Amino acid sequence: MLSTIHSLNPWLVAVGLNTVLLGVAWIAPKKLLTPTGLLHAWFLGVLIWGSLGWRGYVVVLFYFLVGSTVTRVGMAQKEAEGIAEKRSGARGPENVWGSALTAALCALGILVVPTFKVETGLITYLLLLGYVASFSTKLSDTCASEVGKAYGKRTYLITTLQAVPRGTEGAISLEGTLAGIVGSTAIAFLGWGVGMIDLPGVVFCVLAAFIATNLESVIGATLQAQIDWLTNEVVNIVNTLIGAIAAVLLALIWRWLV
């Protein structure tokens, strides 16, 4: 079965698979995506499978399923407190690209690099690392935020360490921080398990996710309320971009040291 799939044009497989999944999601009683969110997710899925194959697709699917599940943790309580995600956690197109734009750019890079007459080995490795790191960062952020809002006993503003209500932009908690580390580690090991990154790459992804998630909290505590266009989705793009860049820099430093 797998050999048959591998022999087909990856873009045809991507269109067929994602169209089937779109149909299933469209008629499913519980909606994880809005109608327009589904269409954008279809395009993203085609791009990821067409450029990275099933390995890249498994990573993005894992992020989406786990992230959607975590978002619904303690939903009734979070809705009562007014700190739940809008639409009961159903993702729209802005959420799709806020979470996956950095990863999509890395995937496009994998397609473009071979057209240049350069040594592609290191560049491809760094792009794959950036891809996994971006989702590791986003899942860390999602787990930290949603678990913190649901179960955080004490939440503190990251810039002052003063106690603030759960759901405050820039707030952190021990429970959320631990959940974020677990989330980033899980997806980093998945990336290693499917052969996209090596074991040092797992460490780079987890460290990068921790750095980026905390910097995202700083942005939320300082700049987000002051800049109109700095929406949660834009902050998510910045967050994942920082995570990908941090992982790449850590990998380059490691290669220089050893």
pLDDT for 94-116, tens place per residue? 999 999 999 999 999 998 887 66
pLDDT score at 225: 78
Is the predicted pLDDT of residue 240 greater than 50, yes or no? Answer: yes
Domains in the chain, number: 1
Is the predicted pLDDT of residue 74 greater than 90, yes or no? Answer: no
Are 219 and 169 within 8 A, CB to CB? no
Q: What would the mean pLDDT of 68-73 be, rounded to a whole number?
A: 84
Chain position carrying tokens 């905390």: 214
Q: What is the DSSP letter of 85?
A: P
Angle at 182 between CA 178 and CA 183, to 5 degrees: 115
Beta-carbon contacts of 118 under 8 Å, excluding residues fewer than 6 positions away, are: none
Residue 226 C-alpha from the chain's centroid: 25
Give Dmax over CA atoms of the chain in angstroms: 58
pLDDT score at 72: 79
Six token digits for residue 15 = 């269109």
User: How far separated are the first and last CA of the chain, in Å rounded?
Assistant: 41
Rounded distance between C-alpha atoms, residue 222 and residue 171, angstroms = 11
Confidence of residue 85 (pLDDT cuts 50, 70, 90): low
Confidence of residue 1 (pLDDT cuts 50, 70, 90): very low
Domain range enclosing 99? 2-257
Question: What percent of the chain has a predicted confidence (pLDDT) above 90?
Answer: 59
Quote the mean pLDDT of the chain.
88
Predicted confidence (pLDDT) per residue in 172-229, tens digit: 999 999 999 999 999 999 999 999 999 999 999 999 999 999 999 999 889 887 888 8
Are 187 and 99 within 8 A, CB to CB? no
Q: Identify which has the larger pLDDT, 117 or 42.
A: 42
Question: Which residue type occupies 22?
Answer: L
Is the predicted pLDDT of residue 257 greater than 80, yes or no? Answer: yes
Q: Which residues of 76-107 are buried (b: 16+ CB within 10 A; e: fewer)?
A: eebeeeebbbeeebbbbbbbbbbbbbbbbbbb
Confidence of residue 86 (pLDDT cuts 50, 70, 90): low
Confidence of residue 118 (pLDDT cuts 50, 70, 90): low
Confidence of residue 4 (pLDDT cuts 50, 70, 90): very low
pLDDT score at 39: 93
